[in-house]
């Protein structure tokens, strides 16, 4: 941490930013962490409006303005590091990150993914859960490593899939769970209760199972 009382968080978004909002709301009651900046790769991301309304600095870095993935990631790292981030939170940031980026933020980079990892890495997770005939679905917060959606899971929330569910139904219910588990994981990290060791994610001194802490609302 940059000082003993505060965890500086930078949040990366590409869209609506409802997870960002959930974290903003949670941290309003949690003075040991603060969001220093929100960065979007899309100028029209509604999450930027949420950041502005909360008085948080905003940056737009359009990936299309850069020669390649690495040039974009390097520019991103420059902005993040200006804010002396202790934790980088990916909240619907829809870019594949280079190994240079994930190594630079090793052990201080979290992501939320709309599936019960390791199931359904990548995109269209709700439809894929339906197509696979899964009986349960959910979301996972995980530390980010070089493997896409593959880093150690911190926390998962599970819901039952009903026979009549559409992908949109699942998206709505999963989102509601995301808004509960992401702020919790961020708070654990900010409070020094959560870290990543060589052997996996550790919460309160105990190694977490590969499926992470199982959240029940
Ligand atoms: C969330 O459902 C998040 O899990 C997903 O994007 C959505 C962002 O919503 N992330 C991914 O799919 C990353 N692979 P939000 O902008 O409202 O927070």
Q: What is the CA(150)–ligand 1 centre distance, in A?
A: 16
pLDDT of residue 6: 82
- Find out whether the beta carbon of 114 lies less than 6 Å from any atom of ligand 1: yes
Residue whose CB lies within 8 A of the most ligand 1 atoms, among 49, 113, 179, for a mutation test: 113
- Residues 197 and 213 occupy one common structural domain: yes
Mean pLDDT of 12-16: 98
* Contact in structure between 58 and 52 (CB atoms under 8 Å): yes
Using DSSP, state whether 156 is helix, strand or coil: strand
**What percentage of residues in the chain have a pLDDT greater than 90?**
95
Q: What is the CA(144)–ligand 1 centre distance, in A?
A: 15
pLDDT of residue 217: 81
pLDDT of residue 1: 58
- Residues 196 and 99 occupy one common structural domain: no
pLDDT digits (tens, 9 = 90+) for 73-109: 999 999 999 999 999 999 999 999 999 999 999 999 9
- Find out whether the beta carbon of 138 lies less than 6 Å from any atom of ligand 1: no
**What percentage of residues in the chain have a pLDDT greater than 70?**
98
pLDDT of residue 4: 47
Mean pLDDT of 126-135: 98
- Residues 98 and 127 occupy one common structural domain: no
Residue 152 lies in a domain: yes
Count the neighbouring beta carbons within 10 Å of the beta carbon of residue 6: 15
Give the Cα separation of 172 and 95 in Å (integer).
22
Provide the pairing of β-strand 33-40 with 7-13: parallel
User: Is the pTM value of this prediction over 0.95?
Assistant: yes
Residue 186 lies in a domain: no
* Cis preceding-peptide flag for 165 (omega within 30 of 0): no
Band (pLDDT 50/70/90 cuts) for residue 5 is low
The CATH code of the domain that includes 148 is 3.40.50.170
Containing structural domain, residue 32 = 1-105
Q: What is the CA(4)–ligand 1 centre distance, in A?
A: 31
Give the Cα separation of 100 and 8 in Å (integer).
21
Using the 3D structure, point to which of 70, 105, 140 is the last residue of a domain: 105
Band (pLDDT 50/70/90 cuts) for residue 129 is very high
Q: How many residues does the chain have?
A: 217
End-to-end CA distance of the chain: 30
Residue whose CB lies within 8 A of the most ligand 1 atoms, among 178, 182, 183, 186, for a mutation test: 178
Mean pLDDT of 171-185: 98
Tokens of 15: 């869209």
Q: Please list the active-site residues.
A: 113
What are the residue ranges of helices labelled H in the chain?
A: 18-27, 46-53, 69-82, 99-104, 125-131, 167-190
Residue reference for tokens 């588990």: 181
Mean pLDDT of 134-160: 97
pLDDT digits (tens, 9 = 90+) for 18-72: 999 999 999 999 877 999 999 999 999 999 999 999 999 999 999 999 999 999 9
Q: Which atom of ligand 1 is nearest to the CA of 122?
A: 14
């Amino acid at each position: 941490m940059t000082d003993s009382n505060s965890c500086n968080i930078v949040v990366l978004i590409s869209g609506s930013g409802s997870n960002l909002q959930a974290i903003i709301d949670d941290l309003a009651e949690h003075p040991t962490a603060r969001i220093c900046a929100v960065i979007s790769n899309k100028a029209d991301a509604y999450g930027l409006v949420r950041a502005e309304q909360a008085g948080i600095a905003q940056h737009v870095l359009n990936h299309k303005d850069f020669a390649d993935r690495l040039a974009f990631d390097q520019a991103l790292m420059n902005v993040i590091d200006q804010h002396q981030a202790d934790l980088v939170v990916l909240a619907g940031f829809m870019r594949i990150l280079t190994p240079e980026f994930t190594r630079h933020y090793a052990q201080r980079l979290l992501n939320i993914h709309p599936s019960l990892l390791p199931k359904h890495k990548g995109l269209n997770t709700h439809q894929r859960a339906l197509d696979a005939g899964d009986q349960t679905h959910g979301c996972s917060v995980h530390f980010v490593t070089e493997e896409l959606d593959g880093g150690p899971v911190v926390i998962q929330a599970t819901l039952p899939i009903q026979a009549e569910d559409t992908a949109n139904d699942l998206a709505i219910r999963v989102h509601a769970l995301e808004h509960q588990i992401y702020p919790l994981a961020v708070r654990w990290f900010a409070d020094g209760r959560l870290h990543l060791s060589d052997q996996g994610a550790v919460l309160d001194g105990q190694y977490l199972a590969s499926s992470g802490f199982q959240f029940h609302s």
